[in-house]
Amino acid sequence: MAEIIQKDGTWVFDGDALRLTPGRDKNVSLLRRELGELLVPLAALAGISFEQGKKSGRLRLRLRDGADPLLHAAGGRLTEPHDPYQLLVESDRYGVAEYFVDEVRNALLLDQVPSGPVDAYLLPGPPVPLSVSAGDGVASFDGERVRLEWKWQAEDAKSAAGPRTLPLADIVAVEWQPTVGLENGHLRFTVRAAPSKVPPKYDPNAVELWGFKKDPLMALVAAAVQARLPHPAARAALEDARAGEDTSTPAPAPRAPAPAPAAEDDHDALLRRLRELGDLHRSGVLTDEEFTLAKQAVLKRM
């Protein structure tokens, strides 16, 4: 097991999953505190890195595309203070951070976890029900429907129609956009058969965000809804199937796969060697020092 404890949070790796717990320091963002503890299965990881700085460093997890509904709904727009997959590391813990990275990377190698996209969410998304008040409205989600209520600051185009209820079955997509510079952010729902082209300020299916402290919490609503919508990979497969039904041109015959290079066989042999070393270490045949030296030798050949 590998563990690193910092003011920014605590990360623990048990060989199968990473447990990410946000810290209680005042500098930890409101979004991370509200999101709470995350359990990230090893299969959801595409990689891990550690970046050193003069005063502090940063651990970063890279998740496989489509593994987390929060990252998908945010579209890569979560900045460093709000990203739950980054951890600020103090300079006197650089050695611990590097050891943590080595342990996770070795596990990815041993389990042969691919780095490509997945076809189903591997994290559940935020629990429901939840309700967030920010910008010109309040967004609530109970797992089956979204309810949008308007504050007095909302435009007449929204407030005149009163609260808005959107059944999950009618929602096609959800998007969270943070405020950047002079451009306001938003939480927008695309509704079936009624795509909106108006700005979020006037869109009854969108909450406009102005860059205040609670704005990032709207990403939690977006993630909770996204987790219950069809996965993007499933949607893409359905669209491809429909497109195939509409054409009379037969699909070209698949090409036979090219023979794997000899280097691939060497790579597989090295992975088997790593597993054997792990078994020998666990059974007590190899000491900790002997196991570390042998493992480093194999990894260098890879």
What does 57-105 look like in DSSP terms, one character per residue? Answer: EEEEEEEPTTS-HHHHHHTT---TTT-TTEEEEEGGGHHHHHHHHHHHH
Select the highest-mean-pLDDT range: 8-22, 238-252, 260-274. 8-22
Helix, strand, coil share of the chain (percent; to 5): 35, 25, 40
Quick one: pLDDT at residue 260?
44
Quick one: pLDDT at residue 182?
86
Q: What is the DSSP string of 193-205?
A: TB---S-TTT-TT
Query: Do residues 208 and 135 lie in contact, with contact meaning Cβ atoms separated by under 8 Å?
Result: yes
For residue 266, give every residue at least 6 positions away whose Cβ sits within 8 Å of its Cβ, in sequence order, or none: none
Residue 205 has pLDDT above 90, yes or no: yes
For residue 44, give every residue at least 6 positions away whose Cβ sits within 8 Å of its Cβ, in sequence order, or none: 63, 64, 67, 68, 118, 122, 123
HSE of 101, CA atoms in CB hemisphere, 13 A: 21
Residue 256 has pLDDT above 80, yes or no: no
Share of the chain above pLDDT 70, in %: 81
Q: Tokens at residue 233, please?
A: 């990979």
Q: Is 136 exposed, middle or buried (0-12, 13-18, 19+ CB in 10 A)?
A: buried
Model confidence band, residue 276 (pLDDT cutoffs 50, 70, 90): confident
Residue 263 has pLDDT above 50, yes or no: no
How is residue 258 annotated by DSSP?
Answer: P
Residue 277 has pLDDT above 80, yes or no: no
Could you tell me the end-to-end alpha-carbon distance of the chain, in angstroms, rounded to an integer?
Answer: 24
Residue type, 148: L
Residue 258 has pLDDT above 70, yes or no: no
Query: Do residues 28 and 22 lie in contact, with contact meaning Cβ atoms separated by under 8 Å?
Result: yes
More confident residue, 251 or 281: 281
